[in-house]
Each structure stands twice: as structure tokens, then as C-alpha cells.
Amino acid sequence: MASDNQIVFFDTTLRDGEQSPGCTMHHAEKLRFAHQLANLGVDIIEAGFAIASHGDFNSVQAIAREVSTSAKAPRIASLARCKREDIEAAARAIEPAAKNRIHIFLSTSDLHLAAKLKISREQALDQIAQSVALARGYAEDVEFSPEDATRTDLEFLIKACTVAVQAGATTLNIPDTVGYTTPAEYTQLFRTLRSRVPNSGNIIFSTHCHDDLGMAVANSLAGVEGGARQIECAINGIGERAGNAALEEIAAAIATRHDRYPYTSNLVMTELYPTSKMLGEIISFNCSPNKAVVGANAFAHESGIHQHGVLANPLTYEIMTPASVGFTGQNIVLGKHSGRRALEHRLTELGHKLSREELDTVYNRFTELADRKKSIYDQDIIALLHAHDAEPLVTNAS
């Protein structure tokens, strides 16, 4: 039995993430990545949108068959519009999974109803009721998302959620489809829905935040503060436009600021970095170097003052250890801002213990090089020991 503070991580990298430009994945890649999501310990994998193409259907089905093989493995979800053919395709695709879910969505904002769906509010409510009920005939676990919820008239949103719950929805996801909400507003929205939707105590509320204003992670955590217990997110924050809330950032915030976010989850934190790297390799682009938690510079220290601090005690400039999120690379980066101590540290790691005089000489050569060259690699440092215009330094190299 999960505790009241247990967060369900719903990963949508393979659905919302894959929908974003440049992030298309092939069948084998999706399957490989889904296995890694299982290693990471996500609770639910949204494996795709089964009706979208034969390829999508086959991937969702293969992930259902090969990844959700036991009660402990992730639940597999497929997205579906409020259409019979979508729901039936989703049901067929997820059928082999040990645990599965149909995720139904319909826009509820007046803007989307008029401009996109061209239906009335009454028609929307009918479609929600019929589709959720149909889906419940195929799956015990049905999620409903009122798309563009954060720009939906509040009274109508409550009605739409109520209809979905009455028709059998077990999770209510409240998407901030266009990344428009703010943390305080989103917290309040969950509080209101939890108090106004009948029987809400028996369902799980979920966040789904886009990053158009750079607030997706903050909004997701604010949603949890308002009572949501499922977070929909994606690795490296990929997703439509500016992306989805980044799973690794939410996970790290909960782990690092447990005093403010006293929640638990099934995530294996040390799999965060390997999962991020695998995604970057599959979609052929990594996140930006300064990306929180998994960016190449997330734990890198180049300036002498910071390097000195970190070498004396990592807590001076690190709020979590690189190892805690599975980062195994170098975090002391040598460049023109680096100091003598960092150079000495790296030389020692490379097997060269220098006397004070030798270190002074090499440090002088190093600063000259660093003025000319952006990245200093280990081979550059070794070369400094044997600079061609000077006597090679005699070291006790191992």
C-alpha cells in the first residue's frame, strides 16, 4: 500500500517527448529506452499513441509485452482521443502488459472547443462520459486529461472532471498544455478540484506541465503541494515546444530538498544520468551543458576558487553528489580560471606527483596554454610535463 506521500512518476518521453521536433525514435530504440525507464523505476511509461501509426501501435504493443512483465514492472499506457477507434487501438496495444492504462484526453477550454474541436461544452461532456466508460470496458485503470485545463473555465473544468470520474476515470490529469500557469495558481487549482469534484478522495490527481515560461518543474512541484500525487514528465525535459517538466530535475529536487518536499518514489536515483545519456544518444542531441542535474556542466567546476572549495569539501559548491544521480565523469574541469590546486589534483589522478618547484613550472606552462585553448584535456596536461621548449620534468610517474 503506497503512503500518502508516495509520488507516482509517469514518464511521457516516448509519447509527448517523441512528438517534439528531432526526437523521433525507431521501434528498437523505443524498446531499448523503455527497458531503461524500467531500470530507472518509473511507475508508468506512456509508450505512445497507438492510433497514430502502425509503427506507434507496434512499439506500444512490444513495450507492453516485453517491459511490463510482472506486477513490479512499470504500467504501460497508451494515449487515445475521445474516439472509439483510438480507444480500441490503445486497448489492443496495451493488452499484453501485466499492468496497463488507457489515457484519454479531450480539450475543455472554450478556445480549443471552438477553434479546434468545433463542439459545444455539452458535446464535450458527452464525449468524455462515453469515452471513459468505453475505456473502462477494456482497462481497469483509465486516466482522463482535460487538455488545456489551466485555461479552462473553472466551473466547466469541475464539471468535466466530475463526468470523467462518474464514468470510471481512476486518474485525473490536469494539463498545463501551453505552459501558462504559475506555481501558486496551479497549487490552488488542485486544492479546488480535490474539494469540488465528488469522490475525488478515490482518484489520483496528476500534473502535466509544459515549459513555455520555464516553470514546468516548479509548477509540477506546486501541483504536488496542492494534492497531486502523479507527475507526468520526460527525461531531459523533452516534449512539445519548450518541452515537458524534466523528470530528473523533479526527482533531484525531491531528494535534495526533502525538508520542503517530503515525498517518496520508486525511482532509482543513480539511473538518472545513464537514462539521460541514453536518450541523448538515441535522439542524437544531448541537453544543453548547463542543464540542471544531467547537463555536462551540472557538476563541473572550472574556477580556481570553486575548485579549491570543492577539493577541500564538495559541500562548498555541490548540493548533491554527482554519484547520487549516477554521474561518473570528471567534475574538476581545467581551464583558464583554474588554480594550482586543481592542476595538482588532476596530475596526481593521472599518476604524477610533482615537487613544489615542478608544479610551479607546469602551472606556468598551463596558464599560457589555457589562455590560448578553450578545452584542456588530459593529454594536454601530460604534454605540459614534456614541453618541447623546456627540459622534461622528471616525475615519479606510475
CB nearer ligand KIV, residue 81 or residue 365: 81
| Shortest reach from residue 210's CB to ligand KIV, in Å | 6
* Conformational region of residue 240, where left means phi above 0, alpha means psi within -120 to 50, and beta covers everything else: beta
105 binds, among ligand KIV, Zn ion, none (CB under 5 to 8 A by kind): ligand KIV
Bridge partners for 230 per DSSP: 8, 206
CB 125, CB 102: distance < 8 Å? no
391 grid coordinates: 627540459
Q: Closer to Zn ion by CB, 16 or 271: give it.
A: 16
215 vs 384, beta carbon nearer ligand KIV: 215
Q: Is 158 helix (H, G, I), strand (E, B) or coil?
A: helix
Could you say which residues in the range 308-327 bind Zn ion, by CB under 5 A? none
For residues 19 and 275, which CB has a smaller minimum distance to ligand KIV in the complex?
A: 19
Shortest distance, position 137 Cβ to ligand KIV, whole Å: 21
Nearer to Zn ion, 103 or 306 (CB): 103
Output the smallest distance, CB 143 to ligand KIV, in A.
Answer: 9
Q: Which is nearer to Zn ion, 16 or 86 (CB)?
A: 16
Q: Looking at this protein, which amino acid is placed at residue 302?
A: E
DSSP SS3 for 79: strand
Q: How far is the CB of 228 from Zn ion (least distance, A)?
A: 15
Site for Zn ion in 5-64 (CB under 5 A): 16
Q: Provide the binding-site residues for ligand KIV, judged by CB under 6 A.
A: 16, 105, 145, 147, 173, 175, 177, 208, 210
Residue 145's binding partner among ligand KIV, Zn ion, none (Cβ under 5 to 8 angstroms by kind) is: ligand KIV
Sign for the pseudo-dihedral over CA of 174, 80, 156, 201: negative
Shortest distance (Å) from residue 231 CB to ligand KIV:
13
Residue 194 Cβ vs ligand KIV, minimum distance, rounded to whole Å: 19
Cβ contact 230:7 at 8 Å: yes
Q: From the list ligand KIV, Zn ion, none, pick the one residue 200 interacts with, judged by a Cβ distance below 5 to 8 Å according to partner type.
A: none
190 binds, among ligand KIV, Zn ion, none (CB under 5 to 8 A by kind): none
CA atoms of 371 and 358, how far apart (whole Å): 20
Query: How far is CA 48 from its chain centroid?
Result: 16
Residue 76: name the closest of 87, 55, 89, 62 by CA: 62
The listed partner (Zn ion, ligand KIV, none) that binds 147, CB under 5 to 8 Å by sort, is: ligand KIV
Per-residue burial over 61-99, b if 16 or more Cβ lie within 10 Å, else e, is bbbbbbbbeeeebbbbbbbbbbeeebbbbbbbbbebbbb
β-pair partners for 315 = none
In the complex, what is the shortest distance from the CB of residue 134 to ligand KIV, in angstroms, rounded to a whole number? 18
Binding site for Zn ion (CB under 5 A): 16
